[in-house]
Amino acid sequence: MIASPCNDICTIDSESGLCVGCSRTPSEITNWIHYSDNQKKIILNSLKKRRNNIDNIHDNMLDSRIMNNLFNVSKKQIFPIGLILILAFARLIPHPPNFTPIIAVAIMSGYFFKNFNLSVLILLVSMLISDLFIGFYENIIFVYLSLIFITFIFHKISSKINFKNLFIYGFAGSLIFFVVSNFGVWALGSPGLQDIAYEKSLSGLIQCYILAIPFFGNTFLSTLIFSYPAIFIYRSLAARSSAR
């Protein structure tokens, strides 16, 4: 008579449905005394393979938890710091006028972090770091206010951001920056393209906006170029983490 493989650790694994101690199914445990010796031998021969399967399941669960933890840590700590450095560096290296990821991040920050204060902090810190090297300018307050305003608006609708409407959101964010920052140029009497301040009149304001239109193209284009890869990479990492 073939003895039972039971080792008194009678607990059913919730993932595999097998006994943790002997790797048999509940049905096999209950009917063991009724099985023939040949049936018992078949079951005993399959136990080692079953134990390996249980170990693989547990290893996959552990890998999944590790990946989720790493993803959460990167979101909370590594990602914000890295983003600050990238934004600051992007403004310091040679680039076409207004061709930076700043507006893209202002739009996407609510989607990334779900935290308005953190989003604003990242933008302002990165701007201040780069402005320390570039130099401060007259309408800096309007530039910063426009970024805060963009961040606030898109933080409210961050759950609606997707590949389909990102084009429209990119245009809207770029337009807000264009309107607010150039209003600051006009209001503060900052030099225009010909180093002459615009007239403090409606015609002067309109002229300011007209002459700034070529810069809007760079702002909008850079916003799209940086936004789409950002949302793709972020979603891919999140999907990979949850799949594990």
Question: pTM for the whole thing?
Answer: 0.65
Q: Which of 233, 215, 216 is nearest to 71 (CA)?
A: 233
pLDDT at 80: 61
Q: Per residue in 33-87, pLDDT tens?
A: 777 777 777 777 776 676 666 555 554 554 556 555 555 555 555 666 676 677 7
pLDDT at 189: 81
Q: Is the pLDDT of residue 154 over 90?
A: yes
| Residue type present at position 187 | A
Predicted confidence at residue 91, as pLDDT, reads 82
Amino acid at 221: L
User: Mean pLDDT across the chain, nearest whole number?
Assistant: 79
- Higher-pLDDT residue of 30 and 152 is 152
pLDDT, position 134: 86
- Among the listed residues 180, 88, 96, the one whose alpha carbon sits nearest the alpha carbon of residue 134: 88
Which has more pLDDT, 178 or 113? 178
What are the beta bridge partners of residue 191? 197
The DSSP code sequence of 62-131 is: HHHHHHHHHHHHIIIIIHHHHHHHHHHHHHHS---TT-SSHHHHHHHHHHHHS-HHHHHHHHHHHHHHHH
Q: From the CB of residue 110, how many other CB atoms can be counted at a distance below 10 Å?
A: 23
Least confident of 59-68, 91-100, 151-160, 163-172: 59-68
- For residues 160-181, average pLDDT: 93
> How high is the pLDDT of residue 86?
77
Stated length of the chain:
244
DSSP 45-68: HHHHHHHHHHHHHHHHHHHHHHHH
pLDDT digits (tens, 9 = 90+) for 177-195: 999 999 999 998 877 666 6
Q: What is the mean pLDDT of residues 188-212?
A: 83
- Secondary structure element (H or E) that encloses residue 43, with its range: helix 37-73
Residue 12: φ, ψ to 5°: -85, 125
Please determine, for residue 235, whether its predicted confidence score (pLDDT) is greater than 70.
yes
